[in-house]
Structure formats: structure tokens, C-alpha cells
Structure 1
Amino acid sequence: MLKKAVVLLSSLLVTGSLSAHTLWVMPSHYVLSKPKSWIAVDASAGNMTFVADKGIALTALKMYQPDGSAKVITDVYQGKRKSMADVQLGGDGTYRLELANPVRFFTSYELAGEKKRLMANKAERSAQLPKGATNVETVQMRSRNFAYITVNAPTNTVLKLQGEGLELSSKNHPADAVANEEQQFVFNLNGKPQAGVKGILSFDGELYRNEAGRIEFETNSEGRFSFTPEQAGRYLIEASYSADMATDVADKVRESITYSFEVALP
């Protein structure tokens, strides 16, 4: 089981599930010693961590190589319960495996007492809204699901923040996460630490435990959350942030991420 999470400063625990089904990508190996190795990738959405329930499309699955260049993954299969991919890595360094949805815009409104919606941003919606529409609101949405794989020597290029949307950085390199050592994370929105990001930390095997052992958290004023794992294994962070943020294209923003990672034996 995990030790009680240490949330820096005065972060508050939050309640409730972030979503009915959580999507994740999970490589068969997080650390490898042999260049040109192959890995298998599982992707699914489910109610329990790493318990496959719904297969998902992998057309957007990419591998970012140690130099930052992107490689589209073509050896994929979408099943009923989970989807799979075979990926060959290159030389030494850290890779980023990512399944991301592009920015999308949903405009909701009411017409004659009924709630409706359309796919359009603020600049586009006026031409599509029917006459008499009320309570009009546009939400900008984006999601990312990712993991890191390291071959021999860890590198940092694919860990750098891009400055767009919700991103995660860590005090520890992903290849260096070890049981009984504190893991500290910072959640960033558009390149800056963000308070109020709500998340759930979970770990593999909850199907076989009476207590799931999940930890719910909310980032502090510096965007931080930390915990100390008592045991090695595979972990998952799912987090989201939503807020009023009026721009030329939206009234609100909703961002979400899932991050799978491995904690090694001491």
C-alpha cells in the first residue's frame, strides 16, 4: 500500500471520480538496456486501473524519439477490450509514448427548453447557432495520455514542457522512480505551474485488493503534488483542470491527462 500522500503546502484532498472510464497507454517495458528493442503497448479505458474494458482507436498514437522527432506508429490493432501496438525503439535515450486528442470545441446552448450542442468555437458559432438560442457557452477541450520509456542512458528532450495545455513535469526522471523515495510532480497549464488541478493516483493490482488504495489530490499554489510509494510496480496518474477562461475562441477550458509510470525496486 502507499503511504499517505504528501501534498505540499495546503493542498486539499478532493472527492469523486474524474470520469467513469479512464483511458491509459501502458508499455510492456519502461526501462531497457538493449538498443533497437521492441515493446508492446496496451491501450484501453476502464473503471479499474490497468484492467482493460474498452478498446480504443490508436490512429493518433505517436512515439517521440530522444531527439524530439515524432514517429507515427502503424503496427496497431483495436480489440473489443483493449488495443495493442508493437513499437521498435532506436538508440539510447528517453522516448515519449503519447496518445493525444487535438484541441476540440463544444458549444452548448438551449432552444425551446432543450439543451443542444454543436462542434464550433466562439468565432464560428454565430454562423451555426439557430435563432433564439440562449445560454450559449463554448468549452475548449484537450486530453493527453502518455508514458516514458528509457533505453540505457536517460535524456531530457522529450520531458521538456511545450507550453500548451495541461502538462506534467517531475523532480525525478521517469527512469529513476524508486520505491520508498519521494516522487514530486508539478502540473503546468500553458507553461506555468497551475493550482487546483484535481487528480487520482492509483497503482496496479487493485482488482485483487479489498482496498483500492487510490489517493485523490489537488495541486497547491505551486502546482505541486508528491507521494512516496512503498512498493515497486506500475502506477497511474489521471488529472484534470477546468476553469472559466474567456478567449477569442472559448468561454471555458477543460484539460485532462493520464500518465502511466513504473516504480522500481530499491
Structure 2
Amino acid sequence: MKTVRLLTLTSLFAASTALAHTMNVLPSHYVQSKTGGFVTVDLFASNMTFQADKGVGVEGFKVVLPDGSIAKPTAAVQGKRKSIADVELAVAGTYRLEMGGQPRYFTSYKVGGEQKRLMGDKQKAAKELPKDATDVVTTQGRNRALAFVTVNAPTDAVLKTTGQGLEFSFDRHPADIVAGEAVTVTLTLNGKPVEGIKADLSFDGELYRNDPARQHLVTDKAGQFSFTPANAGRYLLEASTEAPLKSEKADKIREGFTLSFEAALP
């Protein structure tokens, strides 16, 4: 199976460096049979599926408990190649592990034909742009990297969509994805399904294959696409979209996410 790659750099990577990498939230386990244990979560940016290239700031990482409340990891450290967080699984149910999610603004412009950029919304840009700036466009970017971990039995509270930004839903619980069984994904933007959103699905072990074997998927009129994990293992799904935005802060919106998940043996 292959993980889907979105232009989904977490909000921590709103700068150009982020745009060049894929953010990953990669837990040591996706399913646990009993409470009281831990998962260790790798947090990193990568150019190749699940190959850690750069550790990221752990302050942007949060744990959403099965009841929807927010918790911090038990321990976290930022490394050069990857950052690591330990998450306690104290109660049964499904947890959401998430990086990013907060809107970030950047303004691109040209001076003498040279492309430039500053971090900030339209109001900030108006004060800082050089007088000879042209082709000024302010973008509101929001990107998330996620994974779900289920303990004992799956629950749905952390899977609910909010109607804000680019969101996804599966036709089954993430803990119930099995190799060889088709999965349908619905993508919505601000609560509405959108046709034509592109996504990439990639499978673990890309470093050891001559062919990355990624699946390139596109949503239909219902905002949906389907895939069938060919093998058991870890996958990455990435998706992003861009649209005009009428706002005092931005001219367009760019939303994206990356989701790591596991396909179980049949």
C-alpha cells in the first residue's frame, strides 16, 4: 500500500523549508489491546516515505484523548533527524495524535522581478512591504499531520469533522483497515465535498524500491476516492487544496494534511 502525500507541511513549516518536505506523525503502534501502556511517536519531516530527514519542534504536538479533551505527551524531545514523544494510553478508545492545525499567513511578492516572501497576513504586509512590491498575494496556510491510535476498542469522538478547512473521513474506522479490502475516503473543504482534490498514497519501504509505487488519487464529484491496500503495513496519505479567499487577512487559502495509518493482515 502507499501513503498519500499532500502538500501538507504542518503549520510549523509555513516557511519554504516546510513546503519542501512532508510532515510525519508516526506512532510505534496503531492498536493496543489494553490500557496502561505507551506508544512512542516519531515526529519528523521527510522527502521519502517514513525516512526521517529533519526533527521538528515538539511544542506543536498534541494528543486528543478518546473523550475529545486535549493532553500533552508524557515526554518529548526534539532531535536532529526526528523528534520523539511518549504518549500514555491510560483509557480505552481512539486517540488522535496531531501536529500543526493552526493557521499561518505568508505574503509573496516581487521586487524587480525577484520573488520574495514575508511571514504575515495582509494587514502586517501592508506595513512591511517595500513600496516597489508587485504581484502581492497573501495566503492563509493550515496543515496537519495526524495518526490515530486505538486501545482495546475503537471509538469515534476524535474522528468527527468540524466543517473547517480540509478534512477527511473514511468509510470505516482507521483501526479496521485491512489489506485487500477497499477503503473509500471523503474529502471536504469547510464542510463541503470538493471535486478534483489530488492525493497521494504511499507505502512503507520506499527507500528499498526502485519504483516508489505511489498511488495518485483524485476526488470525484462526491469528494471521494477509493483505494485498496495491497499489503499489510504502514501507509501515508497526503492531500492538499487551494482556493480563493475573501478575507481581511488573506487572498487565498491553502489547506493540507498527512495521515499515517496501518493496514492489518487479513
Give the structure-1-normalised TM-score.
0.88
Instruction: Show CA shifts across 1:34-79 (max 9, x none).
Output: 1121111112222221111211111111110011001022511122
Aligned AA (1:104): R
* DSSP 3-state at the match of 2:23: strand
> Is residue 177 from structure 1 mapped to residue 177 from structure 2 by the alignment?
yes
The one-letter amino acid paired with 2:27 is: P
1:82 maps to: 82
Give the superposed CA RMSD: 1.8
Aligned to 1:209: 209
Aligned to 2:256: 256
Q: Which letter maps to 1:97? A: L
1:241 maps to 2:241: yes
Give me the identity figure in percent.
54
Deviates more, 1:48-57 or 1:254-263: 48-57
How far has the Cα of 1:211 moved from its partner?
Answer: 2.1
Residue of structure 2 in register with 1:231 after alignment: 231
What is the TM-score normalised by the length of structure 2?
0.88
CA distance in 2, matches of 1:28, 1:260: 11
Q: What is the aligned partner in structure 1 of residue 13 from structure 2?
A: none
Higher helix share: 2
Structure 2 portions without partners, runs of 5+: 3-17
Q: Give the direction of change, closer, same or farther, for the CA distance of 1:134–1:93 in structure 2 (3 Å limit).
A: same
Task: Find the residue that maps to 1:59 and give its secondary structure.
Answer: helix
The aligned residue for residue 157 of structure 1 is 157
Give the match for residue 7 of structure 1: none
**Residue 197 of structure 1: how far off its partner (Å):** 1.6
Whether the 8 Å CA contact 2:74–2:88 is kept in 1: the answer is: no
Query: Per-residue deviation at 1:101?
Result: 4.5
User: Secondary structure of the residue that 1:158 maps to in structure 2?
Assistant: helix
| Partner SS, residue 127 of structure 1 | helix
Q: Which residue matches 2:73? A: 73
> Aligned partner of 2:161: which letter?
L
Residues 230-252 of structure 1 deviation map (CA, whole Å, 9 limit, x = unaligned) = 21111100111112233232111
Matched position secondary structure for 2:127: coil
Q: Does 1:99 align with 2:99?
A: yes
Superposed, 1:120-159 pairs within 5 Å as 120-159=120-159
Mapping of residues 18-33 of structure 1, within 5 Å: 20-33=20-33
List alignment gaps of at least 5 residues for structure 1.
3-17
The aligned counterpart of 1:63 is: 63
Report how many residues are paired.
251
User: Could you tell me how far apart the structure 2 residues matched to 1:37 and 1:260 are?
Assistant: 21
Question: Structure 1 residues 47 and 108, CA, compared in 2 at 3 Å: closer, same or farther?
Answer: closer
| In 1: Cα distance, 2:20 partner to 2:107 partner | 22
Structure 1 stretch displaced more, 222-231 or 241-250: 241-250
